Amino acid sequence: MNFQKYNSKLSVPINLRSGHFLFFISMIKILISILFSALLFSACKEEQKENIPVNYKEKVELSAEKDASIQIYNLEKMKGESTNRFPCDTISVIEYVLKNFPAGTYLLRFDKNSIYDIPKPALIYYDDNDGSKYIFAVIARSRPGERFIEPSNIVGYDQSFIDLDSTKLGTPFIYLVLFECKGEQMFTIWEAPVPSHGGFNKFSLRNWSPKAINYIEVNFHYGQGVGNINYNYFLVDGIRNQPHLLMTYNGIDFRRTLADLNNDKFPDYYEHIFYSLPDRVIHKDSVAFVFNQKDSLYHSTEGKKITRRY
């Protein structure tokens, strides 16, 4: 007699359950094989895509002609909507930068203080005592050979992390520029590089009271240190000559402040020293740095070999 064994608990033949199990295992293997093939095909497709030659002229961020045409279109639209034009106004400055600076150069705007703010153009109008009219502006240039930058990738707190960004957004070079306005015409007097690539916040005209010297303070967010960095351009030889740069900053555990230590026309500074403990930050001391005109460096009073450029 031929007996067939049963599982007493489920009342299912053992040989039938084994067949279902083997079928289930086979289906899993097939699904894994299909998934692996799909991933391999996707990777090969992506690699093939990377190897395809890029037609640079098809991309706006790589085409000087297309970028210029977009800027011209926006300018014409601004002109049509503007009701209060005046010589060397914002539209004139944007148009001057477009025509006289390398492709991929843009006028920046202030960072917004709130979500409801309309960002203001980074311009300061200044009337000199002799009647001359000047305009300070902060602009950003694209690095030659790379894609054109976008001003929105330079302004704001989040953009202060740009040095840690691995995306291909282009490399911005920021400048403080002085224009002169004569009638309806504009002229470039000087350009001063700003040693930062992102995190622009605002800039303002200030006066250094010890020597009554005007200077431009260009303020940047510094997210990595939770604070702000100021690039101060002192007009030590008048407005038409290249300014003198001194950097100051302020954060949780770092600070540099202006000082007048040797009674000359160049500002000096104090570098403050902090101790960061697990539960608090202690201000311990400060070190003085004095500017030396012979080598154009700041020298520490604690040791002549300790120098800073600005």
Beta strand pairing status for 303-308 and 297-300?
Answer: antiparallel
Instruction: Return d(Cα 234, Cα 153) in angstroms, integer.
Output: 28
CA distance 248 to 44: 51
Is 86 in the same domain as 165? yes
**Which of 216, 221, 219, 263 is CA-nearest to residue 243?**
216
Residue 116 pLDDT more than 80? Answer: yes
Is residue 281 in some structural domain? no
Q: Is 292 exposed, middle or buried (0-12, 13-18, 19+ CB in 10 A)?
A: middle
pLDDT given for residue 223 in this prediction: 86
* 71 and 30 within one domain: no
Tell which of 196, 230, 262 closes a domain: 196
* Range scoring the smallest mean pLDDT among 54-58, 66-70, 214-218, 281-285: 54-58
Q: Are residues 74 and 186 in the same domain?
A: yes
Q: Do the domain assignments include residue 192?
A: yes
Yes or no: say if 185 and 168 are a contact pair by the CB < 8 Å rule.
no
Q: Do both 35 and 146 map to the same domain?
A: no
In a domain, 25, yes or no: yes
* 113, part of any domain: yes
Q: Into how many domains does the chain fold?
A: 2
Q: What is the DSSP string of 164-187?
A: G--S----EEEEEEEEEEETTEEE
Question: Looking at residues 87-96, what average pLDDT do you find?
Answer: 96
In a domain, 310, yes or no: no
Residue 89, domain member (yes or no): yes
Asked whether the predicted pLDDT for residue 22 surpasses 70, the reply is: no
pLDDT of residue 60: 66
For residue 94, what are its two tokens?
């944007």
Domain shared by 13 and 132, yes or no: no
Choice among 32-41, 129-138, 231-240 with the minimum mean pLDDT: 32-41
Q: Based on the domain organization, do 189 and 73 belong to the same domain? A: yes
Residue 202 lies in a domain: no
Tokens of 218: 């260009």
pLDDT value of residue 114: 83
Better-predicted residue by pLDDT, 5 or 255: 255
User: Does pLDDT of 57 surpass 70?
Assistant: no
Residue 14, pLDDT score? 40
Clarify whether residues 105 and 33 are in a common domain.
no
In a shared domain, residues 46 and 91: no
Tell me what pLDDT residue 118 has. 87
Is pLDDT at 19 greater than 70 in this prediction?
A: no
The least confident of 57-61, 143-147, 251-255 is 57-61
Percent of the chain residues past pLDDT 70, beyond the cut = 79
Q: Residue 6: which domain range?
A: 1-52
> What's the pLDDT at 287?
96
* Residues above pLDDT 90, as percent of the chain: 62
More confidently predicted of 45 and 241: 241
- CB of 88 within 8 A of CB of 133? yes
pLDDT in tens, 280-307: 999 999 999 999 999 999 999 998 789 9
* Final residue belonging to a domain, choices 141, 170, 196: 196
Sign, Cα dihedral of 234, 236, 240, 242? negative
Domain termination residue (choose one: 196, 231, 251)? 196
> What is the per-residue pLDDT for 38?
62
Task: Based on the fold, state whether residues 41 and 59 are members of the same structural domain.
Answer: no
Beta strands per DSSP E along 97-226: 105-107, 123-127, 133-142, 172-182, 185-194, 200-208, 213-222
> What mean pLDDT do residues 21-38 have?
65
The answer to whether position 288 is within a domain reads no
Q: Are residues 32 and 59 in the same domain?
A: no
Place of tokens 């037609």: 55
Q: Are residues 25 and 148 in the same domain?
A: no
The pLDDT mean for the chain works out to 85
**Residue 10, CB-side half-sphere exposure with 13 Å CA sphere:** 6
Separation in Å, CA 178 to CA 149, 193, 281: 22, 12, 40
As a whole number of angstroms, the distance between CA 112 and CA 110 comes to 6
Domain co-membership, 137 together with 19: no
Residue 276 tokens, joined:
């960061």
Q: Is 19 helix (H, G, I), strand (E, B) or coil?
A: helix
CB 141 within 8 Å of CB 102: yes
CA–CA separation, 90 and 95 (whole Å) = 9
Contact, 237 vs 210, CB < 8 A? no
Q: Which residue has the higher pLDDT, 273 or 169?
A: 273
pLDDT attached to residue 161: 85
